[in-house]
Amino acid sequence: MEHGPGTGYELPGRHESFWMETTPETSYPPLPGNVETDVAVVGGGITGITAAVLLKQAGYAVTVIEGDRICKGVTGHTTAKVTSLHRLIYANLIDRFGGGQAKQYADANQAAIEMIASFVREYNIPCDFERKPAYTYAESAESRDLVAAEADAARSLGLPATFTDDVPLPGRTYGAVRFADQAQFHPLKYLLRLASLIPGDGSRVFEKTRALEVHDERDRSMVRTERGTVTAKAVVLATHYPFYDGPGFYYARMYPSRSYVLGIRIGEPFPEGMFINAESPAHSWRSQPAEGGELVLVGGMEHRTGENVDTREHYRSLADYARSVYPVRSIDYHWSAQDYITIDGVPYIGRLADGHENVYIATGFRKWGMTNGTAAAMILADMIRGRENPWSGVYAPDRFKPMASIQTFLAHNIEVAEKYIGGAISRPSGDLRDVLPGEGRILMIEGRKTGVFRDREGRVHAVNPTCTHKGCVVAWNSAEETWDCPCHGSRYDAYGKVIHGPAVKGLPPRGG
Ligand code: FES
């Protein structure tokens, strides 16, 4: 069992994503200098890789650049449900967007399931792809009407939805919306094979190449990286959160959210299906074939990134919850993920903004990145090819529906502004002697806020805790041992190196 930081807690199992532990690390080269290409794809997750494959198949030379190794980011930490059942969304979408655009969202996500299935078939990818029903179930009597309404709304949009009282999980439930013929898979086995289709015929994949900025001109764009430039007719920003915001102000229209996953073994077979509850906090379930017997993935306990709480508590709560449902024999893995939630709950997929005709974004998948990310790749590939896409309207980044989202928009911006100005959630506390091995804290040292991490050998590492993206004060994440920014979700390792954008520069060390 891996031990948590030296403050008396033990976190269960290996601190690693099962997907990453069971696939080899990639070794694509870094960008060798300045290159030209038809389409530059920034970000090697499910959106970037799928878009690159679709565009290469359409005859384009594509260059993928990834700041770290491909598939190690959000895609490597998902629960990998391939479903158009996104907890509760369709009744709300019909209400806010109307039936036409709600149907676009439904069709896009159903088409994404079939796109993944067809890649698996066509390239014979051994990725544990299995058809399963998906359920959103009510844990309380009050939620029963909500899941029933969701079943009605989804069915009215042509989705394979029914309401059922037969929820094959232990414990009391109050009905569920069930989607037939959905799927689950091993996302990295799938994507590493897809990525291997990219190199050749003028297309390339470069890793360890962090993009720093984008220059967009009338008929071409240039991505400047730390290792050279990529000049292209079109640029796809598939970096989860667009590190280049342009005039789109995406940083003000989304918030980052973290959630947690445990890989457990239970003393009985897991039922047929993938499950998530309708209430907060989220409780998500699926199974996965694994060496040594079926692994069960239980996830949830979401919260905003950078909240100044002991994040190890979320793993502990999830473990307690899992034990309350199943006889847990062992907890073999624990990992966490970060997602972005847009102010109206629908991703932004399309052109970055007016005047940036060659730059495309896909972000804000609201924890449903397997299908929304694949749909994004299909939409952007069509746009770059100059083809109509039937689902692009609902995802248009320049939509703004004041009636639907103005209150959330204002509340979010006021909250972010407070954090930006005051570092309200990262108030300095204590002094250097209070910082235990494996712990980080914001301290006031010589009149300046300082992020202090003490490693297990007792050495102290001090950084300027001001996020290099737009200046919010980072907070210590005790479960992951990272500095996390509450404003737009940039994350840095304990020594200040960027591990997740939008920031592209690390936290500077504080001397002395
Ligand atoms: Fe934007 Fe930190 S991520 S200020």
Collapse the DSSP code of 319 into the 3-class scheme (helix H, G, I; strand E, B; otherwise coil) and give the result. helix
Residue with the larger pLDDT of the pair 475 and 309: 475
What mean pLDDT do residues 107-125 have? Answer: 98
Collapse the DSSP code of 191 into the 3-class scheme (helix H, G, I; strand E, B; otherwise coil) and give the result. helix
Residue 451 lies in a domain: yes
| CA 491 to ligand 1 centroid distance, Å | 9
Quick one: tokens of 191? 């994507």
pLDDT-derived band at 413 (thresholds 50, 70, 90) equals low
What mean pLDDT do residues 327-346 have? Answer: 91
Residue 449 lies in a domain: yes
How do residues 357-380 score in pLDDT, each as one tens digit?
899 999 999 889 999 999 999 999
Q: Work out the mean pLDDT of the chain and round it to a whole number.
A: 89
Find out whether the peptide bond into 502 is cis, omega within 30 degrees of 0: yes
Residues in contact with ligand 1 (CB, 6 Å cut-off): 251, 467, 469-472, 485, 487-490, 502-503
Collapse the DSSP code of 251 into the 3-class scheme (helix H, G, I; strand E, B; otherwise coil) and give the result. helix
Query: 12-21, 92-101, 132-141, 416-425: which has the minimum mean pLDDT?
Result: 416-425
Quick one: tokens of 228? 């050279």
Whole-number pLDDT of residue 10: 66
Specify the ligand 1 atom closest to the Cα of 467. Answer: 2
Residue 488 lies in a domain: yes
Closest CA to 85 of 192, 164, 3, 1: 164
* 62-65 and 204-206 strand pairing: parallel
Residue with the larger pLDDT of the pair 27 and 423: 27
Quick one: what percent of the chain has pLDDT higher than 90? 68
How do residues 21-76 score in pLDDT, each as one tens digit?
999 999 999 999 999 999 999 999 999 999 999 999 999 999 999 999 999 887 88
Specify the ligand 1 atom closest to the Cα of 486. Answer: 2
The type of residue at 413 is N
| CA 59 to ligand 1 centroid distance, Å | 38
| CA 468 to ligand 1 centroid distance, Å | 7
| CA 434 to ligand 1 centroid distance, Å | 27
Whole-number pLDDT of residue 218: 80
Whole-number pLDDT of residue 419: 54
Whole-number pLDDT of residue 3: 34
| Torsion of the alpha carbons at 397, 399, 401 and 404, rounded to the nearest 10 | -30
Residue to mutate, 304, 412, 490, 499, ligand 1, most ligand atoms under 8 Å from C-beta: 490
- Tokens 């799928």 belong to 50
Backbone angles phi, psi at 258, to 5 degrees: -105, 150
d(CA 254, CA 364): 7
How do residues 142-190 score in pLDDT, each as one tens digit?
999 999 999 999 999 999 999 999 999 998 999 999 999 999 999 999 9
Q: How many domains does the chain have?
A: 1
Query: 222-226, 253-257, 503-507: which has the minimum mean pLDDT?
Result: 253-257
User: Residue 389 pLDDT more than 80?
Assistant: yes
| CA 223 to ligand 1 centroid distance, Å | 21
Q: Which residue, judged by its Cα, is nearest atom 4 of ligand 1?
A: 470
Residues 6+ apart with CB under 8 A from 304: 255, 256, 257, 258, 486
Q: Which residue, judged by its Cα, is nearest atom 3 of ligand 1?
A: 488
Query: 265-274, 324-333, 403-412: which has the minimum mean pLDDT?
Result: 403-412
From residue 24, give the alpha-carbon distance in Å to each of 142, 297, 504.
46, 21, 26
| CA 339 to ligand 1 centroid distance, Å | 14
Whole-number pLDDT of residue 417: 53
Residue 456 lies in a domain: yes
How do residues 325-336 score in pLDDT, each as one tens digit?
999 999 999 999
Residue to mutate, 245, 338, 469, ligand 1, most ligand atoms under 8 Å from C-beta: 469
Mark 343-355 as b/e (b = at least 16 C-beta within 10 Å).
Answer: bbbbbbbbbbbee
Residue 397 lies in a domain: no
Cβ-contact 474, 467 below 8 angstroms? yes
Residue 440 lies in a domain: yes
Residues 6+ apart with CB under 8 A from 134: 81, 83, 85, 178, 179, 182, 273, 274, 275
Residue 478 lies in a domain: yes
DSSP string, 422-437: H-TT----S-GGG--T
Quick one: tokens of 148? 């029933």
| CA 197 to ligand 1 centroid distance, Å | 35
Whole-number pLDDT of residue 119: 98
Residue 491 lies in a domain: yes
Quick one: what percent of the chain has pLDDT higher than 70? 90
Quick one: tokens of 17? 């994503």
| CA 31 to ligand 1 centroid distance, Å | 27
Whole-number pLDDT of residue 407: 55
User: Residue 421 pLDDT more than 60?
Assistant: no
Quick one: tokens of 509? 């060390």
d(CA 5, CA 438): 5
Specify the ligand 1 atom closest to the Cα of 256. Answer: 3
- Tokens 């907060």 belong to 280
Strands (E), 238-358: 254-266, 274-277, 283-288, 295-304, 328-342, 348-351
Query: 50-59, 191-200, 469-478: which has the minimum mean pLDDT?
Result: 469-478
Specify the ligand 1 atom closest to the Cα of 503. Answer: 3
d(CA 348, CA 464): 32
Residue with the larger pLDDT of the pair 219 and 11: 219
Specify the ligand 1 atom closest to the Cα of 488. Answer: 3
How much is the pTM? 0.90
Specify the ligand 1 atom closest to the Cα of 471. Answer: 4
Closest CA to 135 of 91, 172, 86, 64: 86
d(CA 207, CA 210): 8
pLDDT-derived band at 352 (thresholds 50, 70, 90) equals confident
- Tokens 């309380």 belong to 140
CATH number at residue 460: 2.102.10.10
Cβ-contact 93, 101 below 8 angstroms? yes
From residue 166, give the alpha-carbon distance in Å to each of 68, 170, 174, 326.
44, 11, 9, 18
| CA 399 to ligand 1 centroid distance, Å | 23
Structural domain boundaries enclosing 461: 432-500
Whole-number pLDDT of residue 367: 87
Whole-number pLDDT of residue 196: 98
Backbone angles phi, psi at 184, to 5 degrees: -140, 160
Specify the ligand 1 atom closest to the Cα of 251. Answer: 1
